[in-house]
Amino acid sequence: MKKVIVLGGTGFVGRHVCEKLVRAGWQVTVPTRRRSNAQAIQHLPGLTVVELDVHDPAALAGAVDGHTALVNLVAILHGSLAEFERAHVALAHTIAQACAAASVKQVVHVSALGADALQPQTLPSMYLRTKSEGEAVLIQAAEGAGAGVVGQAGFDLSILRPSVIFGAEDKFLTVFAKLQKVLPVLPLAGAGARFAPVWVQDVACAVQRCLDGASADASPRIIEAVGPEVFTLKQLVQIAAQCAGIGGGFGRPVIALPDWAARLQATLMGLAPGEPVLTHDNLDSMKVDNVACGRFPGLASLGITPSALQPIAQDYL
């Protein structure tokens, strides 16, 4: 029986991944700190929700036992250095140890475009550096080293590096559309940053194809999950308005902020209650274009034709 444990399965991407895996015949386990977080997926046949903290090594090891595969979708976009290291690096160590102890055969790790496992300290943001360090931990474990279990042969590892992910209920185009509904003018930090947005369903399909052995590349393999088009952030804001029909499809005037003003905006947003829309680390991440570098295979290597953004965004915006 194909059994997979999905970390981060209750999130935006995770919900799509779980549905895709269930349809493909996998028995899916989703750990979560609170069962109420899993309301959107707990109805899926063959899916089991367990309450635990994935950052607890003993609890995760117990949950992983008996599974043949693991998918890691856990990530944060905002936080302190300690929080980034906990989510992206320490958890990678915990995953490696749990997989080694349970003799897990396959791991699919969803990282980020712009990560570099070989030179993490050259990257401009805490997000990208810790994403890269987490990749390095899992690559070492996949090759049979660093998992803390003597004689462990490692596991088959696929690392997906997606660009920004869009889809219904995303925190990307949906946010820009909502902002333009209430603001007469949109001051925009990082307006010239470039992205190759990828549809959440394509990412979910890529996870499933990796688990089902669609890639012929040797493990560990890195796959860049990008859409077929490249846009600046300003263009994406304008597309969000067009698809949502704001201002007759023209949206609001967009003012590109210089770096000093963008930093001030990030500081002020950080003082607001709740999860910030923009942080200094987000600005640092945008110094690296979120587009394919071309050194690694893309979704086509998994038999997936990437979906264009606008027809899909038109539907849900």
Q: What is the pLDDT of residues 102-142, one digit of tens each?
A: 999 999 999 999 999 999 999 999 999 999 999 999 999 99
- 157 within 8 A of 190, measured Cβ to Cβ: no
Is the sign of the CA dihedral 251, 277, 198, 124 positive or negative?
positive
Whether 40 and 169 share a structural domain: no
Entry pTM: 0.94
Determine, yes or no, domain membership for 42: yes
Are 93 and 187 in a shared domain?
Answer: no
Do 267 and 129 lie in a common domain?
Answer: no
Virtual torsion, Cα 103, 105, 111, 116, nearest 10 deg: 90
Q: What is the number of structural domains in the chain?
A: 2
pLDDT tens-digit series, residues 69-109: 999 999 999 999 999 999 999 999 999 999 999 999 999 99
pLDDT at 151: 45
- Domain of residue 263 covers 165-196+229-291+305-316
Q: What is the pLDDT of residues 227-236, one digit of tens each?
A: 999 999 999 9
Nearest CA to 110 out of 125, 126, 95, 100 is that of 95
Q: CATH no. for residue 173?
A: 3.90.25
pLDDT-derived band at 153, boundaries 50, 70, 90: low
pLDDT value for 207: 98
Q: Which two tokens stand for residue 84?
A: 């980034």
- DSSP string computed for 239-250: HHHHHHTGGGGT
Whether residue 300 is contained in a domain is answered as no
pLDDT at position 152 is 55
The Cα 166–Cα 159 span in angstroms is: 19
Task: Judge if 67 and 184 occupy the same domain.
Answer: no
